[in-house]
Amino acid sequence: MKCPYCGEFDSRVLDSRSTQDSSAIRRRRQCVSCNNRFTTMEKMEAEPIVVIKRDGRRELFDPGKLLKGLILAGQKRNIPLSRWEELVENLEQELRSNYIKEVTADRIGDILLKKLRRIDEVAYVRFASVFRQFPDVEAFKAELEDMLREKEQLQNKGGCKN
């Protein structure tokens, strides 16, 4: 494993652990040359998931792309990176457990938005504004009004989403 700091190819494993869902092994390594520590993940190679974009193009599912979008949506919201990573991992696991090999970008966005709404309303609105591509302020306002109505209904029923 190549050291990300000095480029040395020799490192030693300090610790190995399975991820929470046992789908990967996390290894903590130390470079024998510069002594810096870094983490690697060993994951089973899986069948690719193809995302069908709105314009009909197809591209490979990229968890990193989703993670980047979620981090941007949750900027300055005090939500740990691990929460975003868990959200993306759960989405990918859900798609794989349903044996989905092709999925529309809209379906991915809808699944994420449902989960995101329970995590943080501001991050939800930010993500939705990019994903749903609101044509104008009125459409954006309608989305916010729907959220407020639903929240009020839950409060009146004594339920809470969080």
On the question of pLDDT at 104 being above 90, the answer is: yes
Contact at 8 Å (CB) between 52 and 104?
A: yes
Pairwise pLDDT comparison (17 vs 1), residue with the higher score: 17
pLDDT (mean) for 99-116: 91
SS3 state at 133: coil
Task: Give the number of other CB atoms < 10 A from CB of residue 87.
Answer: 20
Residues 52 and 108: their CA atoms lie apart, in Å, by: 10
On the question of pLDDT at 30 being above 90, the answer is: yes
pLDDT band for position 9 (50/70/90)? very high
pLDDT (mean) for 36-44: 90
Sign of CA dihedral 34, 1, 28, 3: positive
On the question of pLDDT at 150 being above 90, the answer is: no
pLDDT band for position 159 (50/70/90)? low
Instruction: Give the bridge partners for 4, in sequence order.
Output: none
Residues 124 and 120: their CA atoms lie apart, in Å, by: 6
Amino acid 143: pLDDT: 85
CA-closest candidate to residue 115, choices 153, 64, 149, 162: 162
Query: Count H helices, E strands: the chain?
Result: 5, 6
Reported pTM: 0.64
CA-closest candidate to residue 113, choices 159, 75, 69, 145: 69
